[in-house]
């Protein structure tokens, strides 16, 4: 198993939204890595090897030959990637690590995935793997965005919902104007909304990914208000 840092070519760079880009990093010939859906890679540009940043895989473990990461224009690395990284450039990649893993085994669990903004990226991997492998796992995403223009992977998640009756994708918008058209939910994620989606508490695992603020608030709701056990909560804090 290769655990070494390798230079990868950016095979494609796709704007998902005006401020969000997916990079597909092509594995070099003979690259052999063991990794899991939900893990993150750490990357840096060849001209600044000391400036490294972590990105969750937005692809899944069934996607081989490349890694995909989806990056928001925020901070130095986020801005450099979104505004400047192009197909044909290269980046160094430290192989995937991390424990923010979907529990697919034993089957029959309900994974309740809570995300804000770009924090939805690892959940694309969860939903892709469960759908392609026809797993007996329920996955629900509760996704908070500012407006309907900020929903990353909207089309793919809607398609996955069609393909997989065990997958559901719900969005709440926090900053719509009263007269904006939107039939979905408005307002922040709260205990009531989370509770609505927990049908069998003992069987549920709650995941929260994104800013420290969102993850800590969710943790508080789930552990203190909904009284789920600590082992039923998995978090990935981005800072
Ligand atoms: C495990 C893990 C996985 C991650 N996965 C992803 C991912 O999939 N996608 C993703 O986009 N990010 C992800 N991140 C965050 C990512 O690693 C970077 O922190 C992010 O891209 C910002 O780049 P930076 O750290 O160079 O920002 P810095 O320049 O070091 O800034 C640090 C923070 O300060 C704030 N900040 C900086 N400049 C501004 C500004 N002008 N306005 C407002 N706030 C500002 C931002 O909150 C920023 O995150 C992940 C982080 C971790 C730890």
Calculate how far, in angstroms, residue 134's C-alpha sits from the geometric centre of ligand 1. 34
Residue 52 CA to ligand 1 centre (angstroms):
11
CATH number at residue 21: 2.40.30.10
Name the H helices within the chain: 75-84, 121-132, 154-163, 191-196, 212-220
- Nearest-angstrom CA–CA distance, 81 and 104: 32
Q: Is the same domain home to 76 and 116?
A: no
- For residue 67, the enclosing domain spans 6-97
Instruction: Report the pLDDT value the prediction gives residue 2, as an integer from 0 to 100.
Output: 47
Instruction: Identify the domain boundary among 97, 122, 155.
Output: 97
Q: Going by CA atoms, what residue is nearest to atom 27 of ligand 1?
A: 75
The answer to whether position 105 is within a domain reads: no
Say if residue 52 is exposed, middle or buried (CB neighbours under 10 Å; 0-12, 13-18, 19+): middle
Q: Give ∠ CA 219-220-222 in degrees, rounded to 5.
A: 65
pLDDT in the model for residue 115? 97
In a domain, 169, yes or no: yes
Q: Are residues 199 and 222 in the same domain?
A: yes
Whether 19 maps to a domain, the answer reads yes
Asked whether residue 132 falls in the same domain as residue 72, the answer is no
Q: Give yes or no: residues 186 and 208 share one domain.
A: yes
Name which residue sits closest to atom 22 of ligand 1, judged by CA.
75
Q: How many CB atoms are located within 10 Å of the residue 49 CB?
A: 10
Residues whose beta carbon lies within 6 Å of some atom of ligand 1: 40, 53-56, 69-72, 74-78, 118, 121, 236, 238-239
Q: What 3-state DSSP class applies to 124?
A: helix
Asked if the structure places residue 120 within a domain, the reply is: yes
* Token reading at 104: 């697919």
Q: Domain for residue 54, yes or no?
A: yes
Q: Distance between CA atoms of 18 and 80, rounded to whole angstroms?
A: 14
Q: How far is the CA of 36 from the centre of ligand 1 (A)?
A: 23
pLDDT tens string 142-167:
999 999 999 999 999 999 999 999 99
Domain CATH number, residue 192: 3.40.50.80
**Are 86 and 119 contained in the same domain?**
no
Decide if 184 is inside a domain. Answer: yes
Q: Which of 208, 148, 195, 156 is nearest to 172 (CA)?
A: 148
Which pLDDT score is estimated for 239? 87
Q: Whose CA is nearest to atom 34 of ligand 1?
A: 75
Judge contact between 39 and 101, C-beta under 8 A: yes
Angle between helices 154-163 and 121-132 (to 10 degrees): 20
Q: How far is CA 226 from CA 32, 116, 151, 186, in A?
A: 42, 20, 27, 21
Q: Give this prediction's pTM.
A: 0.96
What is the whole-number distance in angstroms between the Cα of residue 194 and the centre of ligand 1? 26
Q: Given ligand 1 and candidates 56, 58, 75, which is best to mutate, with the most ligand atoms within 8 Å of its CB?
A: 75
Quote the ligand 1 centre to 77 CA distance (angstroms).
Answer: 7
187, 130: one domain: yes
Q: Of 65, 97, 129, which closes a domain?
A: 97
pLDDT tens across the length of the chain (239 residues): 446 899 999 999 999 999 999 999 999 999 989 999 999 999 999 999 999 999 999 999 999 999 999 999 999 999 999 999 999 999 999 999 999 999 999 999 999 999 999 999 999 999 999 999 999 999 999 999 999 999 999 999 999 999 999 999 999 999 999 888 999 999 999 999 999 999 999 999 999 999 999 999 999 999 999 999 999 999 999 98
Q: Are 115 and 223 found together in one domain? A: yes
Cα(166) to centroid(ligand 1), Å? 32
- Residue-wise pLDDT for 72-85, tens only, equals 999 999 999 999 99
Q: Does one domain contain both 229 and 137?
A: yes
Domain limit, last residue, from 34, 63, 97 = 97
The per-residue pLDDT for 210 is 94
User: Do 218 and 138 sit in the same domain of this protein?
Assistant: yes
Tell me, yes or no, whether 87 and 115 share the same domain: no
Same domain assignment for residues 71 and 138:
no
Asked, for residue 102, whether it belongs to a domain, the answer is no
Q: In whole angstroms, what is the distance from residue 40 CA to residue 121 CA?
A: 10
Q: Count of domains in the chain? A: 2
Establish if 49 belongs to a structural domain. Answer: yes
Same domain for 115 and 93: no
User: Given this model, what pLDDT does residue 32 score?
Assistant: 87
User: Would you say 218 and 208 are in contact if contact means Cβ atoms under 8 Å apart?
Assistant: yes
Supply the residue whose CA is at minimum distance from atom 53 of ligand 1. 238
């Amino acid at each position: 198993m290769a655990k070494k840092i390798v230079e990868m070519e950016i095979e494609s760079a796709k704007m998902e939204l005006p401020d969000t880009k997916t990079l597909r990093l092509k594995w070099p010939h003979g690259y052999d890595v063991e990794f899991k859906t939900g893990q993150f890679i750490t990357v840096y540009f060849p001209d600044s090897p000391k400036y490294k940043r972590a990105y969750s895989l937005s692809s899944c473990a069934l996607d081989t030959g490349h890694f995909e990461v989806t990056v928001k224009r925020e901070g130095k690395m986020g801005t450099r990637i979104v505004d400047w990284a192009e197909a044909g450039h290269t980046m160094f990649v430290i192989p995937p690590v991390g424990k923010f893993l979907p529990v697919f085994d034993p089957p029959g669990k309900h994974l309740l995935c809570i995300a804000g903004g770009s924090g939805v990226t690892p959940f694309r991997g969860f939903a892709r793997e469960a759908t392609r492998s026809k797993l007996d796992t329920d996955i629900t995403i509760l996704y908070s965005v500012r407006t309907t223009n900020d929903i990353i992977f909207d089309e793919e998640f809607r398609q996955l919902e069609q393909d997989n009756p065990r997958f559901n994708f719900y969005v709440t918008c926090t900053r719509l104007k009263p007269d904006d058209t939107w039939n979905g939910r408005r307002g922040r994620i709260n205990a009531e909304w989370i509770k609505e989606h927990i049908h069998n508490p003992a069987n549920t695992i709650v995941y929260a990914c994104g800013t420290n603020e969102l993850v800590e608030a969710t943790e508080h709701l789930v552990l203190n208000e909904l009284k789920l056990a600590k082992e039923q909560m998995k978090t990935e804090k981005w800072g």
